[in-house]
Chain A
Amino acid sequence: MESRSVSRQTANDTASGETRARPAGPGGVLWRHLIEPYLYLSPALVLIGLVMAVPLAIGISYSFQSITLLRPLDSGWVGLENYRDLWSDRKFWRAFANTFQWTFGSLAFQFGLGLGLALLLNTAFAGKRLIQALVFLPWAVPAFLSALTWAWLFNPVIGPIPHWLAALGLLDEAENILADPALAMWGPIVANIWFGIPFFAITLLAALQSIPGELYEAAEIDGASPWQSFTKITLPFLAPMIAITVMLRTIWIANFADLIFVMTGGGPADSTQILATYIFTTAFRKLDFGYASAIAVALLALLLVYAAVLMMIRQRLVRT
C-alpha cells in the first residue's frame, strides 16, 4: 500500500516534466540489489567472519602478547617482545631461508614437469583417458598419506630409493636422506613435486584446450615450425594462466606444512624447518601461541611482499 502512494507522488513529478529515480518499494530495487543477494550470502559470510576473519584479528593481537598455555600466569601484553625474540632467533632465520628452498625447489619442478605433462596430454594417443586418470592420481592422495608413503620410500629398511641412489653412486651407502641435515629437505620436496604435478598439468591442460585449433592451422599455413607455433601461440595464450597459477601456488606451497611435519617434523637439527612448520610446532608442541602468532605475521608479511613484487613485475611487463 505504501508503494502506491509513493508511486502516485512520482507520477505527479513525471507529469510535471521531471524524471526522478523511484524510491525502492517492496520487491523493488532495494530488495533486488541489497537484501536478496545477502540472504543467499549470509551463511557463507557469517562462517567466514567467525571462523576466519575474527580469529585472524585475534591472531595478530596474539603476536603482541605472551600466551603460553603451559605458563598461564605469564600471559599479558608484551608489545614487540615476540618480534624482538624473532629477530634474534636463529631457528627463525633458518626457517626463513628454508622456506625459500622449499617453495621454489618444489615450484620449479612442479611447474616444469606439469607443463610437460599438459603438453603431452594435449596430443592424441591411445588410452588417453586411462593415462590421464593415472597421472592425476597423486593429487587425490591425502597429504598426510603422501608424506607417510614417501617417508617409507626413503627408509632403507622398507623402501627402495636409498638402495637405488647408492647403486647409482649418488649416495655412499643406502641411508635415509631424511636423517641427513644436508639432504633432508629434498625428501619433502620430492614428495611435494609428486603431489603437485597434477595441479599444474590440470590447469595448464585446460588452458591449452581453450586455444582455438584454427590458430595452429593458420600458423602452419603461414609456414610456422612446431617450435614457432609453441613460442608464438601456445606460450602467449598460456601466459595469463601461468602467471596466476604460479602466484597462487607459490603462496600455497609456502603455507603447506603437512608434508614436512609428517616426514621430518622439521628435523634433523631444524634443517627442514620452514616458517609454516615452525608456526605449527611452536603452537602445537610448545603451546606458545604468542610466539607462534608472531612467526605467522612474519610469514604473512613475506607473502604480501612476494605478491606485491609479482604485481609490480607484471605491471612493468604490461607497460613495455
Chain B
Amino acid sequence: MARMELNGIAKAYGTVEVMRDIDLVIEDGEFVVLVGPSGCGKSTLLRMIAGLEPITAGDFTIDGERMNEVPPRERDIAMVFQSYALYPHMDVARNMGFSMEIARAPAAERQGRVAAAARTLGLDTLLARLPRALSGGQRQRVAMGRAIVRDPRAFLFDEPLSNLDAALRVEMRLEIARLHRKLGATMVYVTHDQVEAMTLADRIVVLEAGRIRQIGAPLDLYERPANRFVAQFIGSPTMNILPVTAEAGAVRLADGSRIEMPQARPGASHLGIRPEHLEVTDPGEGQIVGTADVVEHLGSDTNIAVSVAGIGALMVRRQGTATLRPGDRIGLGIAPGKAHLFDAEGRALRPAPAD
C-alpha cells in the first residue's frame, strides 16, 4: 500500500531547469495519470518516482518515508516500460519471475506466482518462449506480468500502450483498468493520449513545460479546465478558442456578435467552446453564421470545419450523421452555460460563487 507525496520537486540537468514546483499527493490505491505533450516532463517525473532519475530538489515520500536517495530496488515499485524492456535472453517465465529470483525467493513460490500471473494475463502457454517469439501484445502482457509477480506497493506505467496498434490498445486499456480494480494498488501512468488518461484515471495531472497545469478528476478537467492549455489539451477535437472583448455580463466576438455570459468581466480575452457544444442551427438563427468547409463523416459523429467571416475556422461536432455538404451556410449557437472564458494569461474565469 502506498501513499506518495511529492513536495516542491524540481529537476535540473546541469544549470538547465526542466521541472519545478511539483506538488502532488497520490492517495493509496489511486490511479493517477500524468499527461501532457511530449517534452512536458511527465516521463521524467515518473522516473524520479521510480528512482531512475535523481531528484534535484524537493522531497518525495512514500508512506511518509523519504525516498529521494533510496535506489529503485529498495522502493518496492514495479514499472512497465514503453519498450517493455523484456530481457531478450530469458524466457517468459524467467522474465516474469526475475524480481523474485533476485530476491532469492524459493523456487516453488516463484513458480506459483508466475503461474498465477500468467493465468490472469492469458500467458499460460507462452511461458517457455523467448520474447522475440512473441507478438507486440503478448510482450506487453509479459511486461505487465513481470510487474504483477513483483507484488509491489505501487505500479508505474510509462506510455505502455503506445507501441500497440489501435485495437490492441483498447483491449489492453481495459485490461489495465481491470487489473487496477482487482489489485487495488496505487498506479501512476504516463501517457500523451488523452483518451487513455480520461478512461483510466481517478485523477489526471496535466503537465506542460515542467509545470503542473491542473490536477483533477477526468470530468472535472473536461468541464472546468483551469486554463486554456488544459482546455485545449483535454477533449477531441480540440476546443475552439475565440478572441473576445468583455462587456458587462456579456462578451463580444470579433464579428460583432454578442454572447451573454454571467462570468464575463473586464479582463476576459478569449472564449472557449468545445466542438460538441456548438449547436448547429439554420442560417440566421444562433449567434454566428458561417460556411461549412470540410465535412468529416465518422459514422457515430460528424465533424464540420466551419469558416466564419471575421472569426476564422471553427470546429463543430454533431452526433450522428448530417446531411451538410461543403459550401452550405449554417448557423451556430453558443450555449452560455457550456462556454468558457479565459483572461489574457490564459486563466479560466469562473462564474461568481453565488451562481
Q: Do A and B come into direct contact in the complex, CB within 8 Å?
A: yes
Q: Please give the residue numbers on chain A whose beta carbons come within 8 Å of chain B beta carbons, in ascending order.
A: 3-4, 7, 10-11, 14-15, 19-22, 25-29, 32
For B58, list chain A residues within 8 Å (CB).
14, 19
Check B57 against A7 for contact (C-beta < 8 Å). Answer: no
Contact A28/B8 with A14-B58, A19-B57, A22-B57 known, Cβ cut-off 8 Å? no
What would be 26 A-B contacts, judged by CB atoms less than 8 Å apart?
A3-B69, A4-B66, A7-B59, A7-B66, A7-B68, A7-B69, A10-B57, A11-B59, A14-B7, A14-B8, A14-B57, A14-B59, A19-B10, A19-B21, A19-B57, A21-B56, A22-B55, A22-B56, A22-B57, A22-B68, A25-B68, A26-B69, A27-B69, A27-B71, A28-B69, A32-B54
* A249 to B93 Cα, complex, angstroms: 50
* Contact call A20/B57, Cβ cutoff below 8 A: yes
Residue of B8, B66, B70 touching A19 (CB-CB under 8 A): B8
Chain B residues whose CB sits within 8 angstroms of the CB of A29 once the complex forms: 54
Shortest CB distance B82–A (Å): 23
Which residues of B8-28 have CB atoms within 8 Å of chain A's CB atoms?
8, 10, 12, 20-21
Q: Which 5 A-B pairs have the closest CB atoms?
A: A14-B8, A25-B69, A19-B57, A27-B69, A28-B69
Interface bits B14-44 vs A (CB < 8 Å: 1, else 0): 0000001100000000000000000000000
Closest Cβ of chain B: how far from A36's Cβ, in Å? 12
Least distance between B22 CB and chain A CB atoms (Å): 11
Chain A residues within 8 Å of B68, by CB: 7, 22, 25
The chain B residues found within 8 Å of chain A, CB to CB, are 7-8, 10, 12, 20-21, 54-59, 66, 68-71
Q: Which residues on the B side are within 8 Å of A20 (C-beta)?
A: 57
- Which of A11, A21, A27 interacts with B12 by CB under 8 Å? A21
- A145–B339 Cα distance when bound, in Å, is 86
Q: Which residues of B contact A32 (CB under 8 A)?
A: 54
Please measure, in the bound complex, the distance between the C-alpha atom of A11 and the C-alpha atom of B56, giving whole angstroms: 12
Choose from B21, B57, B69 the contact partner of A21 (Cβ within 8 Å).
B57
CB distance from B64 to the nearest CB of A (A): 13
CA A245 to CA B59, docked complex, whole Å: 51
CB neighbours of B21 from chain A (8 A): 19
B21: nearest chain-A partner, CB-CB: A19
Instruction: Return B55 CB to nearest CB of chain A, in Å.
Output: 8
B69 to chain A: which residues have CB within 8 Å? 3, 7, 25-28
How many Å from the CB of B91 to the closest CB on chain A? 30
Inter-chain contacts of B55 with A (CB < 8 A)? 22
- Taking the closest CB of chain A, its distance from the CB of B8, in whole angstroms, is 4
Tell me the complex Cα distance, A263–B53, Å. 58
Compute how far the CA of A7 lies from the CA of B55 in the bound complex, rounded to whole angstroms: 12
Contacts of B57 in A (CB 8 A): 10, 14, 19-22
Q: Give the complex CA separation of A7 and B56 in angstroms.
A: 12
* Residues in A neighbouring B56, C-beta threshold 8 A: 21-22
Give the CA-CA distance A27 to B71 in the complex, in Å.
7
Residue of A nearest to B59 (CB): A11
Bound-complex Cα distance A184 to B21 (A): 76
CB proximity of A71 to chain B, nearest CB, Å: 57
Q: In whole angstroms, how far apart are the Cα atoms of A29 and B12 in the complex?
A: 12
Complex CA gap A92/B156 in Å reads 69
Query: Who on chain A is nearest to B54 by CB?
Result: A29
- In Å, the complex CA distance between A82 and B152 comes to 73
Most-contacted residue by chain B among A19, A25, A26 (CB, 10 A): A19
Q: Which residues of B contact A22 (CB under 8 A)?
A: 55-57, 68
A22 to B127 CA separation, bound complex (whole angstroms): 45
CA A4 to CA B59, docked complex, whole Å? 11
- Residues of chain A within 8 A of B10, CB atoms compared: 19
User: Beyond A21-B57, A26-B69: 14 further Cβ-contacts under 8 Å?
Assistant: A7-B66, A7-B69, A10-B59, A11-B7, A14-B7, A14-B8, A14-B57, A19-B21, A21-B56, A25-B68, A25-B69, A27-B71, A28-B54, A32-B54
Q: How far is the CB of A15 from chain B (nearest CB, A)?
A: 8
B residues near A14, Cβ cutoff 8 Å: 7-8, 57-59
A15-B68 Cα distance, complex, nearest whole Å: 17
The CA of A32 and the CA of B72, in the complex, are separated in Å by 14
Q: Cβ of B12: which chain A residues have Cβ within 8 Å of it?
A: 21
